[in-house]
A and B are shown apart, each in its own frame.
Chain A
Amino acid sequence: GAVVSQHPSRVICKSGTSVKIECRSLDFQATTMFWYRQFPKQSLMLMATSNEGSKATYEQGVEKDKFLINHASLTLSTLTVTSAHPEDSSFYICSARAPLWPYEQYFGPGTRLTVT
Chain B
Amino acid sequence: SQQGEEDPQALSIQEGENATMNCSYKTSINNLQWYRQNSGRGLVHLILIRSNEREKHSGRLRVTLDTSKKSSSLLITASRAADTASYFCATAGGSSNTGKLIFGQGTTLQVKP
Contacts and interface: CB of A to CB of B under 8 A. Distances in A.
Contacts of A7: none
Contact of B101 (A1, A6, A34, A91): A34
Nearest to B106: A43
A43 B42 contact: no
Interface residues of A, number: 27
Interface size grouping (class) on chain B: 20 to 34
Interface string B16-50: 00000000000000010101000011111100101
A45 B44 CA distance: 16
Interface stretch (A13-21, A67-75, A78-86, A104-112): A104-112
Interface of A: 1, 6, 32, 34, 36, 41-46, 49, 60, 91, 93, 95, 97, 102-110, 112
Interface of B: 1-2, 31, 33, 35, 40-45, 48, 50, 88, 92, 97-106, 108
